[in-house]
Amino acid sequence: MNKKLWTLNLLLLAGLALLGRQWHQNWTAARARERTVLGRPLKTTPPPEAAPSSPAAPLQAAGYLEVAQNLLFSKDRNPNVVIEAAPPKPVPPFPRFFGVMNLGDGLMAILSDGPARQRPFRPGDKVGEFQLAEIGKDALVLEWNQKQFSKKFSELMEREKGSPDPAPAAPVTPPPPPQPAETRPAGPGIDMGAGVAACNPNDASPAGAVVDGKRKVVTDSPFGRICRWETVR
C-alpha cells in the first residue's frame, strides 16, 4: 500500500515539473516576441502640406445693412415706421329745436342742450358741444370742431317714431347784410313754419295788426313778451 502511494506521488511531481517547464517555455517565447515587436523601428510619414489660405476681405458697413434694418427673429421688421392716423371724432347729437322768438333785441332760438331742458340761445352761445353761429330764415348754423353745419328747423325738431327722415342739410350760405333799423319794414319777418312768422326788430305795428294775411300777436311768457305773426284763418 505504501509503495503505491509513493509511486502516485512521484508521478504527480513529475507531471507538475513537466507543466512548470512547459509554462516557462511559453513565457520565455512570449517575452521574446514582445521584445521583437517593441524594438522594431516605426516608419514615419511626412505631414501633408497645407494650402495657403486666401486673405480675409476687409469689413464693410454695407454688408450689415440687413442686420441693422431687420430683426433676425421677425421678417416683417423694417425701418419704415407707419403712423396710423386716429379715426375722426364722431359728430355729437344735434340739439333739439322748439322755435324762434324775438323780444325786440334780436332773434333767439329755443333749443334743448340736455334731456328735458330747453331755453333761448342767441348767436354765439354754446349749445352743448356746439356753438350757435347764425339763426337763418328756416335753418340754424351750428359750429363744432371748426366745422359748420346748416340744419333746417324741421331737422332739429323732435320727431315722433315712424315719421319720415328730414331732408339733407343745405349748404351754408352767408346771410344778406342786415338792413338798418330805420329801413326795416313793419310786418311779418322770418317764416317759422306752421303759418307763423317772427316779428322784425323795431316793428312798431300794434298787436292785432294784419299785414300780408298775417295778424300780429303779442303774448307774455317767463322770458318776457313774445311777438309773432299768425296766418289769419
Per-residue model confidence (pLDDT) at position 79: 62
**Nearest residue to 175 (alpha-carbon basis) of 144, 123, 125, 134:** 134
CA end-to-end distance (rounded Å), the chain: 175
The C-alpha atoms of residue 188 and residue 198 are separated, in whole angstroms, by 6
Helix (H, G, I), strand (E, B) or coil at 221: strand
What's the whole-number average pLDDT of the chain? 78
Per-residue model confidence (pLDDT) at position 133: 92
pLDDT tens, residue by residue, 100-154:
888 777 888 888 876 657 788 889 999 888 999 999 888 999 999 989 999 998 8
Report the alpha-carbon angle 17-20-26, nearest 5.
145
Q: Which residues pair with 112 in a beta bridge?
A: 96
Residue 137 burial by Cβ neighbours in a 10 Å radius (0-12, 13-18, 19+): middle
| Cβ–Cβ under 8 Å, residues 195 and 227 | no
**Nearest residue to 110 (alpha-carbon basis) of 232, 222, 189:** 222
Instruction: Write down the H helix ranges in 166-205.
Output: none
Domain 94-172 sits in CATH 1.10.10: no
How far lies 20's CA from each of 16, 24, 25, 38, in Å?
6, 6, 9, 27
Q: Which residues pair with 123 in a beta bridge?
A: none
More confident residue, 62 or 25: 25
Element (H, E) at 119: strand 117-121
53 grid coordinates: 489660405
Per-residue model confidence (pLDDT) at position 149: 93
What one-character DSSP code corresponds to residue 79? Answer: S
More confident residue, 170 or 26: 26
The C-alpha atoms of residue 27 and residue 24 are separated, in whole angstroms, by 5
The C-alpha atoms of residue 13 and residue 6 are separated, in whole angstroms, by 11
* Domain edges within the chain: 94-172, 182-233
The yes-or-no verdict on residue 34 having pLDDT over 60 is: yes
Per-residue model confidence (pLDDT) at position 195: 76
| Cβ–Cβ under 8 Å, residues 95 and 130 | yes
The yes-or-no verdict on residue 194 having pLDDT over 50 is: yes
- What residue type is 159 in one-letter code? R
The yes-or-no verdict on residue 48 having pLDDT over 70 is: yes
